[in-house]
Structure 1
Amino acid sequence: MPSVSSSAPWDVHRLPRADGRVFLVTGGNAGIGYFVAEQLSMTGAAVVLGCRNPAKADAASASIRSRVPGARVRAVRLDLADLSSLRTAAESLDVEHLDVVVHNAGVALDDPPREETAEGHELMFGTNHLGHFALTHRLMPLLSAAPAARVVTVGSFAAKTERLDPADLQSRRDYRPKRTYGRSKLAQMYFGLELDRRLRAADSTVASVVVHPGGALDSLTPPRPPIHTRTPGARLRGAPAALLLQGKHAGAWPAVRAVLDTAVRGGELWGPRVFGLRGEPRREELWNHLTDASVAARLWDKSCELTGIAPDLGFGLGLGLGLGLR
């Protein structure tokens, strides 16, 4: 697939300053989200970790502070599987504006049985997609108060080979954990692109960008104890995979660039440079199935129905500053 390169030079190891800006990273206590938060903390921005587990959030914050002197990092409790809690989570940010939210948190189950959220949604679809869908609406007043805010949605390379089944979004008939996960991430990516279309139609200052980390493995990830530990044996076993894949620190690069690079535009897809699996971040052509705006629009309407979010409040677009859960 051909790439479309940004004209601005970019160095993943020399990030631009972002003093005075506020970034929220969902799931910033582990995996790719942790490295997104760590790297963004190096820019001087205030970084908020949205995490379900306070103890893990504290450990991640301490790890970042130990590696980034003067890091401005804190945590808020955020449970994307509990839609009723999102109003409190947004209010607990206690900021006048929010420059970026990185929708990174996610659940990935490897084995049956099928699980559900408190609202009765399939757990992966309910957390990865519906939780972020509802959170975005809760955050929209804060995002709109920033000069040029961004919503950065972290999809997955696993979504490239998946297709949504509009009649079975909750995987009631066809539940296979890996496939259901891929479809939940595909739903996120459709949402990120549809959100930008609606923001542009509403002449909003907020932009929505979609990214994916390529192939990111624990065995290729540098240690961050107690967040992530790596034994010498795991490192050796993972070495052959480094020809095609990368660690989660590198998997964070597309999201970090989408947050910071002024050349990034809403509606774009960013991923790793080499086969979409590893390397420095680049802009990609949208995957063919992601260009189907009709699928994205139907998913938007169904997501409104499932979350109780009003589809039309002033703009006639399903998006407005006053949107709230009914």
Structure 2
Amino acid sequence: MSSVSRRRTWNVHRLPPAEGRIFLITGGNAGIGYFAAEQLAATGAVVVLGSRDAAKADAAMASIRSHVAGANVRHLQLDLADLSSLKTAVDSLDLDHLDAVVYNAGVALDDPPRRETEDGHELMFGTNHLGHFALTQWPAPLLSAAPAGRIVTVGSFAARSERLDLGDLQSARDYRPKRTYGRSKLAQMCFGFELDRRLRGVGSTVLSVVAHPGGALDSLTPSRPPVHVTTPGERLRGLPTGLLVQGKDAGAWPAVRAVLDPEVRGGQLWGPRVFGLRGTPRCETVPSHMTDPAVAARLWAASGELADTDPHLGFR
């Protein structure tokens, strides 16, 4: 049990107020991103949903407003698969500060063929990792202007069993969708830990924290029509698996705590309490393969070259 958990109990249903704070969630229109947005909106914060689909974002905002009285939500047109569009997107926020960014958006493909972004990158690696890596440089000044800015990277439990192939980061030689997805999430998590190390190195006040949802299934997720609908039959069939995993509403809890809890520290990993698969959020031991300095340095250099970014990602 972490020292944070011993000091006090975190109540996922009674979150601390966050009036006056501004949070951006990539992929905030669906899944775990939607529920993170709904939960954070209930704190009184301004929540910005980063989404490339305006219609889906509108539906998500309407749903949040119907569940959270007075919710202050807005949409940011954001396409992580189009790296050249990211600066313009962030500039359109027209903010003087940003308290947290949650890197949640992701693409998961189950079957071949291998697909690419408009920039020519493998779709899952290009969106899940490179898109967030490249995005970081643009809100960096806004995060630095906040009293305690945070970048929360949402990884995956699947990343624990994967290892990066630094010679084939984009699965050009050997494409297997599930493995490519797991490695893209591992790249995200390695980036999140390395980012915090570099932030500490330049004396930044911004923290980088990594979270993962454990096992989060649609069948165990509360309905939020038209964003998500769980039929009674689906919920009934999903009940046995509820002993091991949970819905996407609960899957959002670790990321929400990573955003809000003042006792969270940079470089930590937050996930569900029960076997890392379900339950309330706790601080976990970080697997060593996610913080290998040699791997992190090579991933950082390769990502910077592929995304054509400032080597410091806007933090000096």
The Cα of 1:5 is off from its aligned counterpart by 4.5
Q: 1:121 to 1:264 in 2, by over 3 A?
A: same
Quick check: 1:278 aligned with 2:272? Answer: no
Structure 1: how far apart are the matches of 2:223 and 2:121?
35
Structure 2: how far apart are the matches of 1:8 and 1:302?
41
Contact 1:27–1:105 under 8 Å retained in 2 = yes
Contact 1:26–1:49 under 8 Å retained in 2 = yes
Report the TM-score when normalising by structure 1: 0.95
Residue aligning to 2:111: 111
The Cα of 1:174 is off from its aligned counterpart by 1.2
Structure 2: how far apart are the matches of 1:279 and 1:5?
18
Residue aligning to 2:314: 320
Structure 2: how far apart are the matches of 1:5 and 1:158?
26
Residue aligning to 1:314: none
The Cα of 1:140 is off from its aligned counterpart by 0.3
Quick check: 1:93 aligned with 2:93? Answer: yes
| Runs of 4+ residues over 4 Å off in structure 1 | none
Residue aligning to 2:44: 44
Structure 2: how far apart are the matches of 1:174 and 1:163?
14
Quick check: 1:251 aligned with 2:251? Answer: yes
5 Å-filtered alignment, 1:122-141, equals 122-141=122-141
The Cα of 1:276 is off from its aligned counterpart by 0.1
| Alignment RMSD (CA, Å) | 0.9
Residue aligning to 2:263: 263
5 Å-filtered alignment, 1:19-30, equals 19-30=19-30
The Cα of 1:76 is off from its aligned counterpart by 0.8
Quick check: 1:84 aligned with 2:78? Answer: no
The Cα of 1:192 is off from its aligned counterpart by 0.4
Contact 1:272–1:282 under 8 Å retained in 2 = yes
Contact 2:137–2:310 under 8 Å retained in 1 = no
String of CA shifts for 1:182-213, please: whole Å, max 9, x gaps. Answer: 00000000000000000000000100000000
The Cα of 1:321 is off from its aligned counterpart by 4.2
Structure 2: how far apart are the matches of 1:128 and 1:277?
21
Contact 1:53–1:77 under 8 Å retained in 2 = yes
Tell me, what secondary structure is at the counterpart of 1:153? strand
Moved more, 4-13 or 279-288: 4-13
Q: Give the gaps of 5 or more residues in structure 2.
A: none
Aligned with residue 2 of structure 2, among 1, 4, 27: 4
Structure 1: how far apart are the matches of 2:303 and 2:34?
28
Contact 1:16–1:260 under 8 Å retained in 2 = yes
String of CA shifts for 1:243-296, please: whole Å, max 9, x gaps. Answer: 000000000000000000001000000000000000000000001211312111
Residue aligning to 1:68: 68
Tell me, what secondary structure is at the counterpart of 1:166? coil
Structure 1: how far apart are the matches of 2:185 and 2:79?
17
Q: Give the gaps of 5 or more residues in structure 1.
A: 312-317
Contact 1:27–1:50 under 8 Å retained in 2 = yes
Structure 2: how far apart are the matches of 1:87 and 1:131?
12
Structure 1: how far apart are the matches of 2:177 and 2:90?
30
Letter in structure 2 aligned against 1:269: L
5 Å-filtered alignment, 1:206-221, equals 206-221=206-221
